[in-house]
Structure 1
């Protein structure tokens, strides 16, 4: 008799291209789907970037209408299961997700922290966060985080010292960023967009306030005084994109910016960059920083970036957002063209630091299966 794969319900909101969602897809592509299968809860009526790929691999997109409804999610779990685990990635909404999972009888209920703060600090918001922390910690069997800062924000100081808590490094497919074809494709892209011979600043991320695109414009404006041919390559989409476009025109620097939009060829985009600039106001870890380091690109980041993002490859430099744009520009000029590591050195660092997909699958599979059988090392290795 054919044995069905154990199913895991991932609660992520909507599977659009962003850090957490990309990390999940890195894992999903590699798991042995005859043994383990993912389904995904979406609170969007619109098709998300990864939906078709998920369905191609046999996963379900479960569309729900009300993120605040425990009852709706309980019913969805019962209708689409059975599930070995529910794994929620939706910040303080993890409390609702894991409450529903507990009511539905799910033995493994994971809350996963991916960021260090959100946009609102009002009194009512702080009260909400405090109550939701208690709900998350009570209803979750495991508390995971991509950095200590993210864990402390979502679960609280006391909980990250407890037995429920674990640090799970974000996972990327390192090999994809080491392929030689990325360099030749980057040359073609630069030729097409008039970037040859320019000092190219790069940024990859959603156009939201937290990513601080306005500051990137200020940095570019100052850099152009020293390097008139400099360019800014912006990869991504989001609500703030048009605002940034308009501001660039007001500043008279729009001809020095390439808005590349959403891209699937991120390794190629990174090879186009001389310096990756990441001035986030807050950040859980920054998956794209791992990708930049895998590509050998020097990175200049704000103080909001967690220490765990620096893999010790000599590619991460830091400046405070309170520093002047002149100081940021001087640092950019200083680090542009840093010596790159050899591919085998890059692979060794990622394996040692356990930022590989295989390492993350082994860890997560242990959590997924520990209360349902099959959590021994042999079975876990077979899931990759």
Structure 2
């Protein structure tokens, strides 16, 4: 009797377009978590980037996960970019799905993908840029209008990490009546918060006394994160609690300027610049007592969710998307126009809030939420499969 071998199912090829992977920012971190958890027997995920640089934080792991890096240069030169895009697809083969994370520029990218007969075209927006967009000059407004026209014309599925992020991408709330658009939260890996932590060991790595009160911040050094405001808050906290430290985790263009400002303000010995770190959950659990996030705008700050997974109170500006408030008793929102004294009181009061929560209880809440990376990736896979099931 002849036994017929079942032909293996062909993998669904998905090209994620991310610009670059040189940082440990929120988008890059989520991309890596998604790649670690997606079903690689069913999906082949590759990354398109716009730079020639290597990615020292992720290169080895990307290779081990079987992810190809597709380089497509010069997005600032649209006609040249279009040629490079066509050439990249010819070199690497076509894809079943293209999944763009380029915010407004996704409109042009999805137009090119349509021209190259990529049938399923996804845009995912990660940031609420509306405060900046409203202040943009007239020529940028024309650009926004053109990109939104192309997004509405060429998108087959649109995803936002929050409602505000979608509003910013499309310029209004009309997407809520269009079935192509939906909110899909990004998730975090909760298993990273279940590892045993030696608090003394973690703090000693950064020169932090075991009995110190530590205000933490995780994020790029860019103006929208309001690092200078955090320094001003620290000055006033130190007047009431001298054994306080401000721990910055991250890197960026204005890091040196903020370090210089800390020296000028006479608080440099209480400010720690930890740089970019690959063990944020460990640092949150071992070194921090509260997370401060006074951003001018955000999409869905994953560090806010990670802080809740670590059992930390979170003090944030009230412009940050409310979807991040998963454990509401850990969250305090403050308007950026409020006096610094309000921030100081909230930070000092967070010590009592932290004592009222166990980390295991916080993890239980997040385990059942859409912010669990396992559930998040399952939802993403379901969206891909639903698209592929649409008859041609």
Question: What TM-score do you get using the length of structure 1 for normalisation?
Answer: 0.92
Q: Secondary structure at the match of 2:35?
A: helix
Q: Does 1:189 align with 2:205?
A: no
Q: Does 1:64 align with 2:69?
A: no
Unaligned stretches of 5+ in structure 2?
1-6
Cα 1:86–1:340 change in 2 (3 A) is: farther
Which one of 361, 371, 375 corresponds to residue 359 of structure 1? 375
Deviation at 1:194, TM superposition (A): 2.9
Task: Show the counterpart of 2:303.
Answer: 288
Deviations 1:172-231 (A, max 9, x none): 11121132x23x1x3212124133211100000000111111111111111111111210
Q: Is the 8 A contact 1:296 1:340 kept in 2?
A: no
Task: Show the counterpart of 1:199.
Answer: 213
Question: What TM-score do you get using the length of structure 2 for normalisation?
Answer: 0.90
Task: Show the counterpart of 1:26.
Answer: 33
Q: Does 1:268 align with 2:282?
A: yes
Q: Is the 8 A contact 2:189 2:374 kept in 1?
A: no
Deviation at 1:341, TM superposition (A): 4.0
Structure-1 separation of matches of 2:227 and 2:46:
34
Which one of 175, 179, 188 corresponds to residue 159 of structure 1? 175
Deviation at 1:32, TM superposition (A): 2.1
Q: Does 1:11 align with 2:25?
A: no
Q: Which moved more, 1:351-360 or 1:100-109?
A: 351-360
Structure-2 separation of matches of 1:303 and 1:59:
38
Task: Show the counterpart of 1:316.
Answer: 331
Deviation at 1:17, TM superposition (A): 1.1
Alignment RMSD (CA, Å): 1.9
Deviation at 1:291, TM superposition (A): 0.5
Cα 1:78–1:350 change in 2 (3 A) is: farther
Q: Does 1:346 align with 2:362?
A: yes
Which one of 135, 144, 149 corresponds to residue 150 of structure 2? 135
Task: Show the counterpart of 2:102.
Answer: 90
Deviation at 1:371, TM superposition (A): 3.8
Cα 1:374–1:57 change in 2 (3 A) is: farther
Deviation at 1:347, TM superposition (A): 3.7
Task: Show the counterpart of 1:380.
Answer: none
Deviation at 1:288, TM superposition (A): 0.7
Task: Show the counterpart of 1:235.
Answer: 249
Q: Is the 8 A contact 2:186 2:302 kept in 1?
A: yes
Task: Show the counterpart of 2:4.
Answer: none
Deviations 1:77-109 (A, max 9, x none): 343133121111111111122112111111211
Q: Report how many aligned residue pairs link the two structures.
A: 372
Unaligned stretches of 5+ in structure 1?
376-384
Cα 1:257–1:51 change in 2 (3 A) is: same
Structure-2 separation of matches of 1:236 and 1:325:
24
Deviation at 1:370, TM superposition (A): 2.5
Q: Is the 8 A contact 1:301 1:317 kept in 2?
A: yes
Q: Is the 8 A contact 1:70 1:99 kept in 2?
A: no
Cα 1:195–1:139 change in 2 (3 A) is: farther
Structure-2 separation of matches of 1:56 and 1:337:
44
Which one of 66, 76, 79 corresponds to residue 91 of structure 2? 79
Q: Is the 8 A contact 1:78 1:104 kept in 2?
A: no
Q: Secondary structure at the match of 1:258?
A: strand
Cα 1:319–1:99 change in 2 (3 A) is: same
Structure-1 separation of matches of 2:187 and 2:350:
26
Task: Show the counterpart of 2:121.
Answer: 109
Q: Secondary structure at the match of 1:370?
A: helix
Q: Is the 8 A contact 2:370 2:376 kept in 1?
A: yes
Which structure has the greater CA radius of gyration? Answer: 2
Deviation at 1:239, TM superposition (A): 0.7
Q: Secondary structure at the match of 1:336?
A: helix
